[in-house]
């Protein structure tokens, strides 16, 4: 079972943000780098690992945004709820950011089938979840 603790990472290159499209097998929506915190792993360690696994950015200088939000599992799909123990009712998410090298392009894992470098307005329109959208708007202000 997955722990009720996740991370998300905003990857920025200049004035643009990386937005990833989740493959249909993974619910098919636009998001940023995200994933679960594993046992015996800090949120920062999970963020570094997810950056490497999802987009191949293994040597990122990570900034803790000192932002945390929760989301209720009751509003999620059966497939999402099944990842967690039946007693889990909400998931905590810690937020980070990093700056990608100028010429760097992501190498996607099987969870993603597309990516875009977007200005903050376009990224906000694409992002599926409200919390990342709101935080992205704050980061770009």
Say what the pTM is.
Answer: 0.94
- The CATH number that applies at residue 36 is 3.90.79.10
Compute the average pLDDT of residues 31-53.
Answer: 97
More confident: 140 or 120:
120
pLDDT attached to residue 60: 78
* 68, two tokens: 């945390």
Q: What is the mean pLDDT of the chain?
A: 94
Give how many domains the chain has, as a whole number: 1
- Rounded to whole angstroms, the Cα distance separating 44 from 7 reads 8
pLDDT tens readout for residues 74-117: 988 888 899 999 999 999 999 999 999 999 999 999 999 999 99
Angle formed at CA 110 by CA 81 and CA 139, multiple of 5 degrees: 75
Q: How many CB atoms lie within 10 A of CB 77?
A: 9
Name the nearest CA neighbour of 38 among 9, 4, 80, 89.
4
> 59: pLDDT confidence band, cut at 50, 70 and 90?
confident
Name the nearest CA neighbour of 32 among 43, 21, 48.
21
Q: State the burial class of residue 37 (Cβ atoms within 10 Å of its Cβ: 0-12, 13-18, 19+).
A: buried
pLDDT tens readout for residues 123-132: 999 999 999 9
* 64, two tokens: 């803790």
Q: How many CB atoms lie within 10 A of CB 89?
A: 12
pLDDT attached to residue 104: 94
DSSP letter at 37?
P
Domain of 114?
Answer: 5-140
- Rounded to whole angstroms, the Cα distance separating 31 from 5 reads 17
């Amino acid at each position: 079972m997955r722990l009720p603790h996740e991370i998300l990472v905003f990857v920025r290159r200049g004035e643009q943000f990386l937005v990833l499209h989740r493959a249909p097998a993974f619910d098919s929506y636009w998001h940023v780098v995200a994933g679960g915190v594993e046992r015996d792993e800090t949120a920062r360690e999970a963020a570094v690992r997810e950056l490497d696994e999802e987009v191949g950015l293994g040597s990122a200088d990570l900034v803790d945004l000192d932002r945390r939000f929760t989301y209720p599992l009751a509003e999620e799909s059966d497939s999402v709820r099944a990842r967690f123990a039946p007693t889990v009712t909400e998931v905590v998410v810690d937020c980070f950011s990093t700056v990608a090298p100028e010429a760097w392009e992501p190498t996607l894992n099987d969870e993603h089938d597309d990516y875009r470098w977007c200005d903050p307005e376009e990224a906000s329109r694409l992002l599926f979840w409200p919390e990342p959208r709101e935080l992205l708007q704050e980061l770009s202000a």
